Amino acid sequence: MSDTPPDRLATNPRSPFYDAAVLERGVGIRFKGEEKTNVDEYCVSEGWVRLSVGKTLDRHGNPMTVKLQGVVEPYFRDIA
């Protein structure tokens, strides 16, 4: 496995960008220099993160999210 996280990653198993092996390793996200723990999906090349908003759910049972633009810095929390 590579030492750099993927360009795009999602925590939803139904997403085409979901990768269980990478998520098991532990990925941290720094967004605009601040640590974020509620990231549902991110894309480094496009510069956005999708954050869950509280405990609110949409009509399909998925968490409500908000998409924010800015500098995204993913990193692995452990050393493989």
- Domains of the chain, by residue range, sit at 8-76
Q: What pLDDT shows up at residue 3?
A: 83
- What's the pLDDT at 1? 58
The yes-or-no verdict on residue 79 having pLDDT over 70 is: no
Instruction: Determine the 3-state secondary structure of 79 from DSSP.
Output: coil
User: 17, 8 in Cβ contact below 8 A?
Assistant: yes
Band (80; pLDDT cuts 50, 70, 90): low
Q: Which among 47, 54, 49, 42 has a CA at the least distance from the CA of 18?
A: 42
The pLDDT tens digits of the residues spanning 15-73 come to 999 999 999 999 999 999 999 999 999 999 999 999 999 899 999 998 899 999 999 99
CB 69 within 8 A of CB 61: no
pLDDT on residue 50: 97
